[in-house]
Amino acid sequence: MSKGPKRYVMVVDLQRCVGCNACTVSCKLEHDVPTGNYRTWVLERENGTFPEVDNFKLPRLCNHCDNPPCHKACPTGATFVADNGAVLIDSTVCIGCRYCMAACPYNARFINRRLNVADKCTFCFHRIEEGLQPACVSTCVGHSRVFGDANDPDSKVSQLIRNHETQRLDPELGTDPQVYYIVPPETTLKALWSAKEGDKP
């Protein structure tokens, strides 16, 4: 058990993701995300040339960075970092300037058309406060997503990070993302996604 403050992270094993998008659907249902917006989504990526082609699924969500650019960019302080490391938005303060959307290199944010404020993945904060897992983690059929406290050395996420070579999305941007990916040996995370190319197929 962790004796100090919690630091929640997510580990995504790309070798286990089957691209069913159950995580996307469960997140939509859990948070009533408006049509056309997604707090989490799965990209399909192909690597290589015929006949040596591989297909990969890349779950994407807010990286809850330790050095979040959205937090620095927010002019009202609506975006803040919780004690457990989750980056959250106070929807009563947000003015919808969308500057955080411009600052985020991972395009994790959108404007919620129902509330007219910025919105994004919250690591299901209301669930983790109750001791539950985020909706996407609970729903994942391939057990690809693992969520937990990185400050607890006995947690599954800590073990996965210790025992596997994990990669993160564009850490050279200085954001210190807290979503780790276990990538199949035949590719790299950079080959699947970069801030430059983004989610373009």
Binding residues for another protein, rule: CB under 8 A, are: 21, 36-38, 41-42, 60, 69-70, 72-78, 93-99, 101-108, 110-111, 113, 116-117, 170, 172-175, 194-201
Q: CB–CB of 182/12 below 8 Å?
A: yes
Give the shortest CB-63-to-another protein separation in angstroms. Answer: 12
Peptide bond into 184 cis (omega under 30): no
CB burial class (10 A; 0-12, 13-18, 19+) of residue 94? buried
Minimum CB distance to another protein smaller for 68 or for 148 = 68
Give the shortest CB-43-to-another protein separation in angstroms. Answer: 8
- Return the bridge partners of 149, or none: 8
Give the shortest CB-169-to-another protein separation in angstroms. Answer: 10
Residue that is written with structure tokens 């607890």 in the block? 152
Give the shortest CB-111-to-another protein separation in angstroms. Answer: 5
Minimum CB distance to another protein smaller for 102 or for 191 = 102
Minimum CB distance to another protein smaller for 70 or for 135 = 70
CA 42 centroid distance within chain: 11
